[in-house]
Structure 1
Amino acid sequence: MLDTSTQEYEKTLSSKDESLPKIHKKRLQRFATPAEVAKAMPLSRAAMSELVGEVHGIKPKHISDSFVAKLFATAAFPLDLVVRGLGFLGVQDVGPLALREMALRAGSTDAFIGTLATLKQMKIKVSNALYCRLLRKLAADGQPEMFDALLANDQHPDSFEDDMVQDRLLKAFLHLEQWPMVHVTMMGRALAGHESEHRAWNELLQHYLETGSWHNVEQTWQSMQARKVHITHRTVGFMWRYALPERRKRHRPALSQWHSTDRPHFDALTFVTNAYMYASRHGDSVAPKVWVEMLKRYGMVYRLWPELEKLALWLGERYGTADSWEAIKKRQQGSVLPSDPFSTIFHWQMQQALFVWGFNNAAMMHRLRVRPLKLGGSDGMTPWEDWAQGLKLLKRLSTTYGVGLRTSFIRKAFLLRMKIIFSRRHTDVPVTRLIRRRNRLSFEQYVRQGCEIFGPRLTEPGPQPMRDGVPTIY
C-alpha cells in the first residue's frame, strides 16, 4: 500500500490546473515532402553554423578577403568549384583581392560577368570598393584591353582609394605614354567623385599642352566643357605658358619662336581667351593681370579690334554689373581699391591703350578718311567715326558697367595722336609713318568728332592755336 503522501501527489497530478491555458492542436492534413523541406531550409555547413550560433549566442566567423583570394589563386581547384565552395563555407561577400584573383582565373570579360552572375544567384555580395566597381564597369562596358591592363598592373587594390597616389600615377602613366593605364586611371578618378575627376582631366590637358599635342588639346578641352570640368590655376598657367607665344614688355607676341610644325592648328589666342572665360563663368578665379595680358595681345594685333572690343565688354559685364551702385559711383570718381579687379583691369594705362589701339586699327584698315554713309542707313554714325572706336568703347564701359574713366590720361593720349599725325618732324617709326600717309582728316574734324562722342572734357581747356601745323595743347 502507498502511503498517504504518495496518494496525495498522484491526486495532484491527475487534477486539472485551471490557471494554464488550454492548447487545441490542429490535426495535420498532409505531411511536407522532403523536397519542400529542403527548399524551405537548405542544409549546408553555413546554415548549420548560423543556426547553432544563434542558439548559443555565438557570432559566425568572418572569412577574410585574403583567404578567399588564395582559394581563387589555387590552380588545383577549378574556378566553378571554388565559387560553389564559397556558399558551403558561409562566405557572404567578396572583396577586391578575391575579385581580382577571380577575374584572373576567369580569363575574359564574358567569363568574369558569368561568374558574377553566379555569385549573385548565391546571394554573395561583391564589395563596393573602388577597385571592384572599376573592374565590373570595364567588364560591363566591353573593354577587354583596359580590363586586362588593370589586372596586369601591380597596384594594390587599396591604392585606388588614395587620391594622392592616383594623381601621381596618372602623371607617371602620361609621361611613359602607357595609354591603357591612363584610361583606366581616368575612369577610376571618375568613379571616385567629381573633385577627383576634375583633377584628372586637368592633369591630362596639362600634359598635352606641355608636349604640344594640339589635336589632343582641342579634343580634351571639348570633353572637359561637355563634362563641366573646372579649370585649376595650374592649367591656367599652362595655357599661358605653352599655348600662347612669348611676348616681351612693350612688344607684340613673337610668333617666330615656333616652327611651323609646332604651332597650334587653331587660333591659340581665341582658344585661351575662351578657356579663361569658361573658367570665370564656372567660379574659377582668373587673376586680373591675366585679363590685362589678354587685352594687350588683342590690342597689339591691330586687325583684332572686334575681338578686343568683345572681350572688354564681356569683362565689363562680368565684373561691373555685380557691384553695388555705391561701388560704381566711387569707381567713377576715381577711387580705386586694391581688391577691386575691375579697376585693376581698366586702369588708366589700359584706358589710354584702348583709345590708341582703336585708332591704329582704323589706320590699318584705311579708315582715317571721310566715308559716306550707307544708303538708307539710320544708325546715326558720322562718316569719320572709325578712328574713335576706342573712345566709344571707353564711354560704353563707363555708362553701362561703371568704369571710372581717367579723363586727363585719355586727353593726353588723344592729343598725342594729334601731335603724331600733324607734326612735320621726320620719324622712322613705321606705324607713325603709316598713319600720316593714310590720314585724310583734319585736326578740326578730330576735335569735333571726339567731343561729340566723349564730351568737351576731351580737349579742355580747349585746343590751342597750331604752330607749324601742330597743336600746342600738349
Structure 2
Amino acid sequence: MPTALDRLLASPSALRALRRLVNSPELPAIWIPALNGRHSTPSQRRGCSTSKKAESKAAWWSELLQYRERVYGRDGIRDVWLGMARRGFKLPTIGKDAEFLWGTLIKNREIITQVLDHATHLYKETGQFYPALYEKCMTFWLPRHPLKALQYHQMLVKRLRLRKLPLRELAQLAKTSLTDESLKMFKKIYTSSNERDIYDHIVPILIDKGQIALAREWHITCFDRRDFPSLSVESHPVVQLLTAENSSSTFSVPKTSHRYAKDADTIIKRFKFADVDRDPQTRIPKYNRILMRRLIAREIEPVRFDDPFCARLFATRAFPPASIIKGLSMVGVNEIGPEALRAMGLRTEPLREMSERFKELKEAGIAIRGCVFSLALEKYTMERNFTLVQSILESDQHPDVFQDSALQRKLLDYYLGQGDWAQAHRTLAVLTLFHNDPNTESWNLILQARVRQFNADHVTQVLQDMQANGVLLSGESLVSIRGLLRRRQRGRRPGASARGEFDDLRFVARTFMFILESGIGFIPPLAWREIIRRYGMMGRFKELRRLIFWLLYWYAIRSRTAFAELPKSVFLDHATAKMRRTYPHPDHYFNLPPWLSQQHPMHPLRQLFPPAWQQGLIVWGFKAGLLPNAALEQSMFSSPASKRHYRRRFLKSGVLSRQSWSVGLRTLVELRDAGLFVQSYTVAKALRMQLMVLFGRGKSNKRENRIMEDVNTISYGEYVKEVNAIWGQTLFREPECRRKRRSESMTDVKLESEQAKELWSKS
C-alpha cells in the first residue's frame, strides 16, 4: 500500500499545485482550480482584487498546513512555517484561515517565538494583530508548560500592548486541564493584570473539585484585589464560610456575622452586582440569604453546655421545658444545639405550643445553633406546618444527617421507590429549606429522583403534573433528563443499551419536545446537538428528518421577510410568550432580535445546524445508502414487527427499503430552500471527501469506508450528475471522457508521483 504522501501526489490536482508552487516565486493569484471545482480565465485572474488574492493565499496555506500537520505532525508545521517565511507571506488577522493558521503555528515550540515576532512585526507595520492570539496561545501552553506560558504572556502583553486579557475564559480551564503549577502561574498573570470579575469563574470551580485550600488562596487574592463574588456565587455555603473567615481575619471580629452582613451589603450596593441565580436562566435569587447567614455564623460569642447534656435536661419530666429554659438562661447559656431542641420539641404537648417555646428561648437570650435540623424545625413551626414538624421530631435520623444533602437525595429515591410519601415529603422539605421557591424545587427534585430510578412512565407523569401546576423545570432537571442517553466515545456511535429495548434517544427527544410545547422550560439550541448527531450516526433518517424540521420551525427567528411562510406549531406562540415573561435575559434565543444574521454565532439555527453538522449530514447519507448493514429504522414499527428477524421478509415485500446515498444532501437542500443558510463550499467539501473515499487511490483506515468502496456500483460520473441535479447548479464538473483503464492510470500517476517528489524536495 503506498504511503500517504504517495497517495496525495498521485492526484492530478496535487501535481498541478506543486508545479505552480515550484515554477513561481509567488503563490497563485487565485484558489487552485482543483479546490473549487472550476478553472479561471486570465482575464478573471487579472481582475481579482488584492484582498481576494490575500484570502486565496491564506486558504491555500491553510490547506497545506492542515495536510502537513496530519501527516508529519510538528515537523510538518515547522516546514510550512519556513516555507511561509521564505516567500514573505504575512499571516491574516481576520477570518477562519487566520484562526486556523495562528492556532496551529503557536503549538510548535520550535517556531512559536518566531510566530510571536511575526505578530509583533505585523502590529508595528499595520497596527493590527490577530485578536484571539493571546487566548489561543495561553489556552494551549498554560496547561502543558506553565513557565513557558508566563514568558509568552509577558511577550504578548509588552509587544502588542494588550490592556484587556481574556482571563475569565482561561479560568474555565481549571475544570479540566490546569495543574497546581498552572494555577500558580495563572495567579501571577492575574495579579499583574488589570482584570477583575474572575472570582465567579475560578473559586466555585476549585470548590466543586474539592480543592478547598486552593479555593481559599484564590478567595483571599481576589478580595485583596477587590474582586468580589456575585450574589449567586456569594450564596454558596463554602463561599460564605470563606468570606466569614476572611472578614474575621481582616477586621478582627472573631465569630461574628453582623459585621460580615454589613460588609456584604456595602459590597452589593457599591458594585451593584446583579441578583442572579447560579443558573443564568433566571434573575430570581434561588436561596434565602437570611437562613444561609444564620447557618454559618452568629452575632455574639456562644456560651453553651454539652448538647447531649442539655437534651437530657429537656427530656427529664421533673421540670417543664419553660423552667429548663429559665435555668439555662440563669447560668449564662446563650445557645442550644439540635439534640436539645429535639428533646424540647418531644416534651412539648400539644405540639402547636412549639412556637411558644421558640418565643421563650428568644426572650431568654438563647439562640439556636445554626444547622439544618434546627433551622428547619424553627421555620416550619413558624409556618404552623405541624405535620412536618412532627415528622422531623420523630425521624430516626440523627440531626447531623440532615446536613448531608447527598444522603438526603438517596433517601428521597428510596422513599419514592417504596411509596412512603410522608417521609418523602419531609426529605423534600429539608432539601428545599434554603430555597426561595421550595414548591418549584420540590417538583424538580422529584423529577430528578424519578430519572435516577429510570422509570419512564413516572418521569412522564411528573412532567404532566408540573405542566398542570405551572411549575418550571430547572437546569439540573434538564441535565438529568439528558443524562438518560447512553454513553458513547467521541466520533463513534453509541453502543448497545444496558436497558434492553428501551429507546433512550427517542425518549429524550420527545421529552424535550414536550417541555418546549408545554412551556414548562426552555431548552437552548446547543442541547439538541448531541441528539441529532446520534440520530445521524445511527442512520435513523426518517426520525432525524422529522426532528430537524420540527426544530427549524420552532427555533427560527421569524420576521416579515425571514421564515414568515414556515409552518408554525400551535403551541409556539403561547410557549414563547411565557418564556419571554419568565426569562427576560436578552441572550436567550426567544429574545434575540429578528434582524440577527444566521452567520452570527448566537443565532439558534447557527447553533443547531453549523457547517460541520451540514457536512456530517451528507456523510451520514452516504453511509445509510451504501453500507449493507445500515439501519432500516425497523424500530419505528410495533413491538413484534421491530424484531430483527423480520428484516429480510420486510425487504422482500417492500415494507422496508434502503435509503439512497443522497438522502443527506436532499435533506440539506430542503433546509436551504426553507431558509437555512448553507454555503456551497461546505457542501462541496463534504462531497469531495466522500468521493475520495469511493474513488481515491489508497485505502481508508476506517472499516466502513472500505466496505462502501467495495460495494459501490455507481460510477463517478453518475454521482456528479445527481449531485448537480439535486443542488440545482454545478458543484463539480462532469467528466468529459471515460477514464483510462485502472492499470494504465496507475502507471501514469506513478511516474508523475516520482517527478513530483523530486520537485518537492527541490522546493
For normalisation by structure 2, the TM-score amounts to: 0.34
- Alignment RMSD: 5.0
Matched, 1:278 2:551: no
Contact 1:362 1:387 in 2 (8 A): yes
Matched, 1:250 2:491: yes
Partner AA of 1:448 in structure 2: K
- Structure 2: gaps (5+ residues): 1-347, 354-380, 396-402, 565-592, 631-656, 750-763
Match of 1:362 among 608, 625, 628: 625
Matched, 1:240 2:482: yes
Cα distance change on mapping 1:466 and 1:220 into 2, 3 Å:
same
Q: Secondary structure at the match of 1:456?
A: coil
Larger-gyration structure (1/2): 1
How far residue 391 of structure 1 moved from its aligned partner, in angstroms, is 1.5
- Name the CA distance, whole Å, in 2 between partners of 1:331 and 1:438: 48
How far residue 150 of structure 1 moved from its aligned partner, in angstroms, is 7.0
In the alignment, what sits opposite 1:231? 473
For residues 31-78 of structure 1, the C-alpha deviation after alignment (integer angstroms, 9 at most, x for no partner) is xxxxxxxxxxxxxxxxxxxxxxxxxxxxxxxxxxxxxxxxxxxxxxxx
Contact 1:355 1:413 in 2 (8 A): yes
- Name the CA distance, whole Å, in 2 between partners of 1:415 and 1:318: 32
Partner AA of 1:279 in structure 2: I
Contact 2:625 2:659 in 1 (8 A): no
Partner AA of 2:672 in structure 1: S
Which aligned pairs between 1:84-95 and structure 2 lie closer than 5 A? none
How far residue 409 of structure 1 moved from its aligned partner, in angstroms, is 1.4
How far residue 131 of structure 1 moved from its aligned partner, in angstroms, is 6.5
* Overall identity of the aligned pairs, in %: 22
Q: Secondary structure at the match of 2:662?
A: helix
In the alignment, what sits opposite 1:214? 454
- Name the CA distance, whole Å, in 1 between partners of 2:686 and 2:596: 20
- Name the CA distance, whole Å, in 2 between partners of 1:352 and 1:327: 23
For residues 96-140 of structure 1, the C-alpha deviation after alignment (integer angstroms, 9 at most, x for no partner) is x998559xxxxxxxxxxxxxxxxxxxxxxxxxx9966896xxxxx
Partner AA of 1:426 in structure 2: K
Q: Secondary structure at the match of 1:387?
A: coil
- Name the CA distance, whole Å, in 2 between partners of 1:333 and 1:438: 45
Contact 1:232 1:284 in 2 (8 A): yes
In the alignment, what sits opposite 1:57? none
Partner AA of 2:714 in structure 1: L
- Name the CA distance, whole Å, in 2 between partners of 1:384 and 1:247: 26
Cα distance change on mapping 1:325 and 1:134 into 2, 3 Å:
farther
Cα distance change on mapping 1:186 and 1:335 into 2, 3 Å:
closer
Partner AA of 2:660 in structure 1: D
Partner AA of 1:308 in structure 2: L
- Name the CA distance, whole Å, in 2 between partners of 1:331 and 1:431: 43
- Name the CA distance, whole Å, in 2 between partners of 1:218 and 1:253: 24
- Name the CA distance, whole Å, in 1 between partners of 2:460 and 2:520: 17
Cα distance change on mapping 1:218 and 1:134 into 2, 3 Å:
farther
How far residue 249 of structure 1 moved from its aligned partner, in angstroms, is 2.4
Match of 1:443 among 708, 716, 721: 716
- Name the CA distance, whole Å, in 2 between partners of 1:207 and 1:298: 27
Match of 1:181 among 396, 415, 423: 423
Q: Secondary structure at the match of 1:308?
A: helix
For residues 195-215 of structure 1, the C-alpha deviation after alignment (integer angstroms, 9 at most, x for no partner) is 6444222212223434xx222
Q: Secondary structure at the match of 1:153?
A: helix
How far residue 431 of structure 1 moved from its aligned partner, in angstroms, is 0.9
In the alignment, what sits opposite 1:322? 558
Q: Secondary structure at the match of 1:426?
A: coil
Match of 1:406 among 679, 692, 695: 679
How far residue 189 of structure 1 moved from its aligned partner, in angstroms, is 11
Q: Secondary structure at the match of 1:343?
A: helix
Cα distance change on mapping 1:195 and 1:272 into 2, 3 Å:
farther
- Name the CA distance, whole Å, in 2 between partners of 1:435 and 1:308: 22
Partner AA of 2:485 in structure 1: L
Which aligned pairs between 1:6-155 and structure 2 lie closer than 5 A? 151-154=390-393
For normalisation by structure 1, the TM-score amounts to: 0.53
In the alignment, what sits opposite 1:93? none
Contact 2:545 2:667 in 1 (8 A): yes
Aligned length: 310
- Structure 1: gaps (5+ residues): 1-96, 103-128, 136-148, 157-164, 368-382
For residues 258-296 of structure 1, the C-alpha deviation after alignment (integer angstroms, 9 at most, x for no partner) is 7x4xx3662111111122222333263323322111111
Contact 1:130 1:188 in 2 (8 A): no
- Name the CA distance, whole Å, in 2 between partners of 1:332 and 1:250: 35
> Which structure has more RCO (C-alpha within 8 Å, separation ≥ 6)?
2
Cα distance change on mapping 1:301 and 1:185 into 2, 3 Å:
same
